[in-house]
């Protein structure tokens, strides 16, 4: 199913509350209560691209079903799907800030929120188009991709997300676009503020960082480029 709405609180909430079949895509022109990771809001002015894709666990080979193992790389797969569609359709070269922010010219243009709620895996993707419609306080760190064929992008990204992609391909396609590679970053490790240099990602898309003589592996959390 492909559902287009003019306005909704959040496309992730809408999928969670309704009984749609796996493989459903819900796309909205604007969200009144768009959500980001943690308790962050996701500003969703009209003109941007806001959509969610529904997966369920199952052995079926039909669109929208996944095995528990596939869920582990769902967020990186979504980041790869967004970047490759933006490259093909908009001729831009975005990068990935680990773990799941998409950057253009150093500014965040897209966020991804993957949620596992009961039997549903919901992948929510928000892409800013015009930077000028974003709230003033975000303008230093967030940008937009510019005018874009929104429906074409939604369809292309959703197709790449639902199509099978093996783990090695996800990791190598993600790694190619990793914007943070070689950068000095700070992060919280073992409850302490730590700094180091990003050396890459491992086969699970965890971030590897050289911190002094040690190599630290992060599976989640935030890093800050310093
Ligand atoms: C983040 O940057 O922390 C993630 C942002 C995810 C935003 C998308 S927009 C479509 C879907 N609906 C939501 O409420 N959130 C996601």
Q: What is the mean pLDDT of the chain?
A: 94
184-189 β-sheet, strand order: 214-218, 207-211, 192-201, 184-189, 223-225
The answer, yes or no, to whether residue 59 has pLDDT greater than 80, is no
Give strand ranges (E) for 128-213: 184-189, 192-201, 207-211
Nearest residue CA, atom 9 of ligand 1?
126
Residues of the chain with CATH 2.30.30: 184-225
Q: Per the CATH hierarchy, to which homologous superfamily does domain 2-175 belong?
A: Bira Bifunctional Protein; Domain 2 (3.30.930.10)
Over residues 71-106, the pLDDT tens digits come to 999 999 999 999 999 999 999 999 999 988 999 999
C-alpha torsion angle, residues 220, 221, 225, 226 (rounded to 10): -130
- Encoding tokens for residue 109? 């243009």
In the reported structure, the alpha carbon of residue 226 is separated from the centroid of ligand 1 by a whole-number distance in angstroms of: 26
Q: Looking at ligand 1, which atom is closest to the CA of residue 111? A: 2
The answer, yes or no, to whether residue 134 has pLDDT greater than 90, is no
Confidence of residue 60 (pLDDT cuts 50, 70, 90): confident
Q: Which helix (H) or strand (E) holds 65?
A: strand 65-66
Q: May I ask the CATH class of domain 184-225?
A: mainly beta
Confidence of residue 8 (pLDDT cuts 50, 70, 90): very high
Nearest residue CA, atom 16 of ligand 1?
124
In the reported structure, the alpha carbon of residue 36 is separated from the centroid of ligand 1 by a whole-number distance in angstroms of: 5
What's residue 222's pLDDT? 82
Residues of the chain with CATH 3.30.930.10: 2-175
Q: Please tell me the pTM assigned to this model.
A: 0.94
Tokens 């943070």 found at: 180
Of 90, 91, 109, nearest to 101 by C-alpha is 109
The answer, yes or no, to whether residue 137 has pLDDT greater than 90, is no
The answer, yes or no, to whether residue 220 has pLDDT greater than 90, is no
């Amino acid at each position: 199913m492909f559902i287009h709405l003019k306005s909704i609180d959040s496309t992730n909430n809408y999928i969670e509350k309704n009984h749609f079949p796996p493989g459903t895509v819900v796309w909205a022109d604007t969200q009144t209560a768009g959500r980001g990771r943690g308790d962050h809001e996701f500003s969703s002015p009209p003109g941007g691209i806001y959509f969610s894709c529904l997966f369920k666990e199952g052995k079926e080979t039909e669109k929208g079903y996944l095995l528990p193992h596939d869920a582990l790389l769902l967020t990186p797969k979504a980041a790869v799907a967004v970047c490759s569609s933006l490259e093909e359709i908009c001729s831009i070269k975005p990068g990935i800030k680990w773990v799941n922010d998409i950057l253009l010219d150093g500014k965040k243009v897209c966020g991804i929120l993957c949620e596992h709620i009961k039997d549903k895996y919901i992948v929510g993707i928000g892409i800013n188009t015009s930077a000028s419609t974003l709230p003033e306080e975000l303008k230093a760190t967030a940008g937009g991709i510019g005018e874009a064929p929104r429906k074409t992008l939604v369809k292309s990204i959703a197709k790449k997300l639902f199509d099978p992609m093996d783990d090695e391909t996800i990791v190598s396609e993600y790694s190619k676009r990793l914007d943070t590679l070689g950068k000095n970053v700070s992060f919280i490790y073992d409850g302490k503020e730590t700094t180091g240099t990003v050396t890459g990602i491992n086969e699970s898309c965890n971030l590897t960082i050289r911190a002094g003589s040690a190599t630290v592996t992060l599976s989640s959390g935030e890093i800050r480029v310093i």
